[in-house]
Amino acid sequence: MNPGLAISIALAAGWLTQSAGALEVLRASGPQHVFAGGSRDVELLLKNSDADVVRFGLRLQLLQLTSSLAAPVGAARTGPALTVLSGQTVVVNVPVDFPGVRASTRFAVRWLDAAGRLLGVTDIWAHPDNLLDALKRMAGSQPLGLADEAGLLRPVLAAHGIPVTELNSPGSWNDFQGRLAFLVSSAEPKDDAPQRETAMLARAKAGVAVIWLQVNPATTLPRLPLAERLPLGRGSIVRVPTSAVAGLDQSPVAQLTLVRLAELALAPPAALLAVAP
Helix (H) or strand (E) holding 79: strand 77-84
> By 3-state DSSP, what share of the chain in percent is helix, strand and coil, each rounded to 5?
25, 40, 35
Q: What pLDDT is recorded for position 185? A: 85
pLDDT at res. 271: 59
CATH topology of domain 3-127: Immunoglobulin-like (2.60.40)
Tell me how far CA of residue 197 lies from CA of 172, 218, 241, in angstroms. Answer: 12, 22, 17
Please report the pLDDT score of residue 21 as a whole number.
58
The amino acid occupying position 206 is A
Angstrom CA distances, 44 to 7, 15, 135, 209, stand at 17, 16, 33, 41
Structural fold of domain 133-275: Rossmann fold (3.40.50)
Give the model's pLDDT for residue 269.
Answer: 66
Give me the pLDDT at residue 187, please. Answer: 72
DSSP letter, residue 3:
H
pLDDT at 65: 93
Sequence-distant (6+) residues with CB within 8 A of 92 are 43, 44, 46, 80, 82
Q: Report the distance separating Cα 16 and Cα 27, nearest Å.
A: 5
| CB-based contact 154:164 (threshold 8 Å) | yes
pLDDT at 270: 56
Residue 127: closest CA among 265, 254, 261? 254
Q: Whole-angstrom Cα distance, residue 13 to residue 209?
A: 40
Domain spans, the chain: 3-127, 133-275
Same fold, 3-127 and 133-275: no
* pLDDT value at residue 94: 95
Q: Could you tell me if 237 and 230 are in contact, meaning their C-beta atoms sit under 8 angstroms apart?
A: yes
Bridge partners, residue 113, by sequence: none
The per-residue pLDDT string of the chain (277 residues; one tens digit each, 9 = 90 and over) reads 444 444 443 443 333 334 345 788 887 778 999 999 999 999 999 999 888 888 889 999 999 998 888 899 999 999 999 989 988 999 999 999 999 999 999 999 999 988 888 999 999 999 999 999 999 999 999 999 999 988 999 999 999 999 999 998 999 999 999 999 999 987 777 777 888 889 999 999 999 999 999 876 444 444 444 678 888 889 899 999 998 899 999 999 999 999 999 999 998 765 555 554 4
